[in-house]
Amino acid sequence: MPSEQVENYLKNIYKLQEDEGKVSTTLLSEKLQISPASVTEMIKKLADAGSLKYTPYRGVELTEQGRRKALRIIRRHRLWELFLVEVLQYAWHEIDEEAERLEHITSEKLEQRLDAALGFPTRDPHGDVIPTTDGKIADVQRASLSEVKPGRTVKIARVSDASPEILQYAAKVGIKLRGKIKVREKIAFDGSLRVEINGKEQFISAKLSQNIFVEAV
């Protein structure tokens, strides 16, 4: 099996599993935009290789071996994302596809040097945790901005990278990691928020607020 294809499967199964629990072949097919028959064939191969458990009609689940492999490729992806932003001055909505290419051609030695050059970081440019070299990742639970009560000031800890549009919109309204934001009002009609960022009041949509994760100041 081509390693790039295997890595993409494992990485996406991991991400879907974090959100959904067991991952159905239908869900994985939609995520990868590959036919259900092809997905099922690959899943059986990965199960035979010991990377996941597969129960027909009940979905798939990564084994410990598969989870470590998935976290290794996620680690490389997030290190490259940070390099692209901090060193090459990419905007945070431009980096996913570039990091996707680089993650598959990164040797262990290059990964180590990249990590050291960046100062052994623990977060990527969106605030996601960078897994450790031994395949571990901190479990960090944070509230979304949409849950913050009016009157409170919080610090931005993570912005979802689910789509470039979300990141572009967030940057446009002044959202950045470790920046402070005060919720002035929640509009009952549509869930949008009136907030204060850098001393300036503005409205942000409910969808954006659900994709921004915060912590106490």
Report yes or no on 51 lying in a domain.
Answer: yes
Report yes or no on 161 lying in a domain.
Answer: yes
Q: What is the CATH number of the domain that holds 173?
A: 2.30.30.90
CB within 8 A of 26, min separation 6: which ones?
36
Q: What is the largest CA-CA distance in the chain?
A: 57
Q: Give the model confidence (pLDDT) of 45-101 as tens digits.
A: 999 999 999 888 788 999 999 999 999 999 999 999 999 999 999 999 999 999 999
Q: What is the DSSP letter of 128?
A: P
Distance from C-alpha of 163 to C-alpha of 14, rounded to nearest angstrom? 18
Is the predicted pLDDT of residue 135 greater than 90, yes or no? no
Residue type, 26: T
- Average predicted confidence (pLDDT) for the chain: 92
Q: Give the model confidence (pLDDT) of 198-208 as tens digits.
A: 889 999 999 99
Q: Report the domain count for the chain.
A: 2
Query: CB under 8 Å, gap of 24 or more: what pairs does 191-196 form?
Result: 191/146, 193/145, 193/146
Q: Which of 32, 62, 92 is the last residue of a domain?
A: 62
Report yes or no on 122 lying in a domain.
Answer: no
Is the predicted pLDDT of residue 188 greater than 70, yes or no? yes
Q: Which of 23, 39, 62 is the last residue of a domain?
A: 62
HSE (side-chain half, CA atoms, 13 Å) at 11:
18
pLDDT reported for residue 1: 47
Report yes or no on 164 lying in a domain.
Answer: yes
Report yes or no on 79 lying in a domain.
Answer: no
Q: What is the DSSP letter of 145?
A: G
Q: What is the DSSP letter of 90?
A: -
The boundaries of the domain holding residue 40 are 3-62
pLDDT bucket at 2, cuts 50 / 70 / 90: low
Report yes or no on 117 lying in a domain.
Answer: no
pLDDT reported for residue 84: 98
Report yes or no on 57 lying in a domain.
Answer: yes
pTM recorded for the entire structure: 0.88
Whether the Cβ atoms of residue 157 and residue 142 lie closer than 8 Å to each other: yes
Q: What is the CATH number of the domain that holds 10?
A: 1.10.10.10
% of residues, the chain, pLDDT over 90 = 78
Q: Which of 62, 78, 96 is the last residue of a domain?
A: 62
Report yes or no on 82 lying in a domain.
Answer: no
pLDDT reported for residue 159: 95
Is residue 107 packed enough to be buried (19+ CB in 10 Å), middle (13-18) or exposed (0-12)? exposed
Average pLDDT rounded to a whole number, residues 115-119: 97
Whether the Cβ atoms of residue 157 and residue 129 lie closer than 8 Å to each other: no
